[in-house]
Amino acid sequence: MNPTRPLIALAFALLASTHGNARTVYRCIRDGTVSLATAPEPGSQCFAKELDDDAAALPNLWGRMGVFHGTLYKREQDGRTVYSTRNLPGSTPVLGFTVATPAGSPAHAGLGKVGAPRMDAFPREFRSAAKKTGIDEAWLRAIAHAESYFDAKAVSDKGARGVMQLMPETIADYGVRDPFDAKQSILAGAKLLKALWTRYEGDLVLAAAAYNAGAGAVAQYNGVPPYVETQEYVAKVQALHARYRKAMKLPPLPGQLAPAR
């Protein structure tokens, strides 16, 4: 028997509002980090998840984060006690827990090849998403180029979909109704990239690695994971980023080589 399972079960029991045989847990995202709570967290983007008490196994609400160690906290919010795995103001620790999330990686080398920039693909959508999120449009285009080569109907062997190759959990977290709609895909991808950019304090290499293999893999290896797919992907994105900045008549970033003619 997994010795952490009773502790995890206790955490889920505390982290839920009971309605018959179902419980509601809120999966909340802030600055690229995930927490679970019994009520929406102020300042986070939260999505309700219904848990079936009769399910044979606990669902994975964390994503692919390897072995995740956390603390369950409680605090008062709107006149009632709320439990959360994020240490918000006024919180006190209740218990520590360990969750072993699924092994493996959703990493893939991407469907696009390093080549000439494509400025003709969804220009309005990329411009709008970059403006709304404040991220470098050239970087957003480089990610899309590496991921799908701007194919709105693309599906990878790992299950990623659309222009930005969104994984199912990203589709759910960002409220994407149709992952094959270019506008929705590009905006959700831009929001995810902004969260990763913030999390890694502007380190585009780590942000690209996390977009490809997951933040858990980056944390597990304290840097770019040793997956061939991810290493190839990061190198491809770096080369494409330089080419898109040149195509957009932007100067190379510090430490970024100008692309060969």
| CA neighbor of 120 nearest in space, from 100, 97, 144 | 144
Q: Are 148 and 121 in contact (CB under 8 A)?
A: no
Q: Are 120 and 110 in contact (CB under 8 A)?
A: no
State phi, psi for 119 to the nearest 5 degrees: -80, -10
Residues in the chain: 261
Tokens of 94: 């209740």
Dist. CA 88–CA 145, nearest whole Å: 38
Alpha helices in 95-227 (DSSP H): 123-133, 137-148, 168-173, 182-199, 204-213, 215-221
User: Does the annotation mark 50 as catalytic?
Assistant: no
Dist. CA 59–CA 61, nearest whole Å: 6
Task: Kindly give, in sequence order, each residue whose CB lies less than 8 Å from that of residue 254, ignoring residues fewer than 6 positions away.
Answer: none
State phi, psi for 191 to the nearest 5 degrees: -65, -40
Q: Indicate the helix (H) or strand (E) that contains 9.
A: helix 5-14
Q: How far apart are the first and last CA of the chain?
A: 60
Catalytic residue, chosen from 41, 147, 169, 229, is 147
| CA neighbor of 232 nearest in space, from 200, 208, 199 | 208
Which residues are known catalytic residues? 147
